């Protein structure tokens, strides 16, 4: 799905980093969105918050960690400082609100604010990038988009709709299995959302990231991780909050918040121009495993 979205965006002349921050990110965040809607319909709201936080931790710790096992990633001139600051601040505000809010939930008003943020983010990111692209083309006296045959574009549109329908259908089965697994294991639904559902819904990011790193599309790869984490909080959290309040039901939810903030901070700090290697991948994987084990040890008793 992400490849076809990328093809459409490139055909329109959209910069690769914008493709990663927006189009590919939306495509790879679709499983989290559909799973959240299915969880609300199934009265399994506990899965949603765990899935959002778990997916964001998995995107950085598990997905990027595995990608670095395949090939090193050069972060020089990839993601702007403003994008990284936006991601870090949104993560801190999201986790801080959940921790200090007496209700410990995301309801209608916070959901509207999160959704509003995503619309502003999309508009601002696209407008700035396209404005910069047009300026560069005028200076170089170039005005050419990548030529893609109409037949190829139609096939891409078809597969985008087909993938969306498959994700929607699969989300119901994923939620049904996760809800029943939580009951049988006697653990909070949030733990299942944090681990099993988060890994399941993050598989599109893994597939897209491995494909991109093999092509040395480092801008799109890192842009996808940044954008996906922003959309998981803003779009998925916003829509879920509007449809039905989502809350934490674990005894020690702060361990998940600390893990998410720490990994996001580490990710943003590393994206200042250094080349990420296999050693960094081991560190990320170790952080992911540690955070998963800690939350299961502390919150495993229902």
Q: Which pLDDT does position 108 carry in this prediction?
A: 93
Q: Which pLDDT does position 198 carry in this prediction?
A: 83
Q: Is the pLDDT of residue 275 over 70?
A: yes
How far apart, in Å, are the Cα atoms of 259 and each of 246, 254, 290, 294? Answer: 20, 8, 9, 10
Tokens linked to 177 = 């299995």
Q: Which pLDDT does position 255 carry in this prediction?
A: 93
Mean pLDDT value of segment 207-228: 85
Q: Is the pLDDT of residue 64 over 80?
A: yes
User: What domain range is 158 assigned to?
Assistant: 2-299
Residues contacting 57, CB < 8 A, separation 6+ = 194, 198, 256, 259, 260, 263, 288, 291
Looking up tokens 């619309």, which residue turns up? Answer: 119
Looking up tokens 């921050």, which residue turns up? Answer: 21
Which pTM value belongs to this model?
0.84
Q: In which band, very low, low, confident or very high, does the pLDDT at 143 lie, cut at 50, 70 and 90? A: very low
Residues contacting 236, CB < 8 A, separation 6+ = 29, 32, 33, 36, 48, 51, 52
How far apart, in Å, are the Cα atoms of 9 and each of 65, 135, 227, 230? Answer: 27, 19, 15, 19
Q: Which pLDDT does position 147 carry in this prediction?
A: 55
Q: Is the dihedral of CA 35, 18, 217, 289 positive or negative?
A: negative
Q: Which of 47-51, 126-130, 279-283 has the lowest mean pLDDT?
A: 126-130
Q: Is the pLDDT of residue 43 over 70?
A: yes
Mean pLDDT estimate for the chain: 81
Number of H helices, E strands in the chain: 14, 4
Mean pLDDT value of segment 178-195: 75
Mean pLDDT value of segment 251-268: 94
Nearest CA among 1, 50, 65 for reference residue 27 = 1
Q: Is the pLDDT of residue 118 over 60?
A: yes
For residues 78 and 75, which has the higher predicted lDDT (pLDDT)? 75
How far apart, in Å, are the Cα atoms of 240 and each of 32, 232, 235? Answer: 10, 11, 8
> Within 13 Å of residue 62, how many CA atoms lie on the same side as its CB?
26
Domain total in the chain: 1
Nearest CA among 266, 285, 289 for reference residue 70 = 285
Q: Is the pLDDT of residue 230 over 50?
A: yes
For residues 264 and 161, which has the higher predicted lDDT (pLDDT)? 264
Q: CA dihedral defined by 246, 248, 21, 82, rounded to 10 degrees? A: 110
For residues 149 and 184, which has the higher predicted lDDT (pLDDT)? 184
Q: What is the CATH number of the domain that holds 156?
A: 1.20.1420.30
Q: Which pLDDT does position 14 carry in this prediction?
A: 58
For residues 2 and 59, which has the higher predicted lDDT (pLDDT)? 59
Mean pLDDT value of segment 142-148: 52
Name the percent of the chain lying above pLDDT 70. 73
């Amino acid at each position: 799905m992400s490849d076809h979205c990328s093809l459409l965006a490139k055909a329109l002349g959209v910069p690769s980093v914008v493709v990663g921050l927006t189009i590919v990110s939306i495509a790879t965040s679709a499983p989290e969105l559909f799973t959240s809607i299915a969880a609300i319909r199934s009265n399994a709201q506990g899965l949603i918050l765990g899935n959002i936080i778990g997916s964001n931790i998995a995107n950085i710790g598990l997905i990027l960690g595995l990608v670095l096992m395949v090939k090193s990633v050069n972060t020089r001139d990839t993601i702007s400082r403003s994008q990284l600051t936006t991601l870090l601040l949104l993560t801190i505000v999201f986790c801080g609100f959940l921790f200090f809010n007496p209700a410990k939930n995301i309801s209608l008003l916070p959901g509207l604010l999160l959704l509003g943020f995503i619309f502003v983010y999309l508009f601002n990111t696209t407008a700035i990038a396209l404005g910069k692209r047009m300026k560069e083309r005028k200076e170089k006296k170039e005005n050419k988009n990548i030529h893609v045959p109409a037949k190829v574009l139609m096939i891409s549109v078809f597969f985008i709709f087909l993938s969306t329908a498959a994700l929607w259908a699969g989300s119901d089965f994923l939620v049904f299995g996760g809800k029943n697994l939580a009951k049988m294991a006697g653990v909070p639904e949030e733990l299942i959302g944090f681990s099993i559902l988060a890994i399941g819904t993050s598989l599109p990011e893994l597939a897209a990231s491995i494909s991109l790193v093999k092509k040395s599309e480092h801008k799109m790869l890192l842009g996808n991780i940044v954008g996906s984490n922003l959309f998981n909080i803003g779009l998925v959290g916003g829509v879920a909050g509007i449809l039905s309040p989502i809350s934490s039901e674990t005894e020690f939810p702060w361990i998940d918040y600390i893990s998410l903030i720490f990994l996001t901070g580490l990710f943003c700090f590393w994206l200042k121009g250094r080349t990420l290697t296999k050693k960094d991948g081991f560190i990320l994987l170790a952080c992911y495993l540690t955070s998963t084990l800690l939350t299961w040890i502390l919150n495993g008793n229902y």
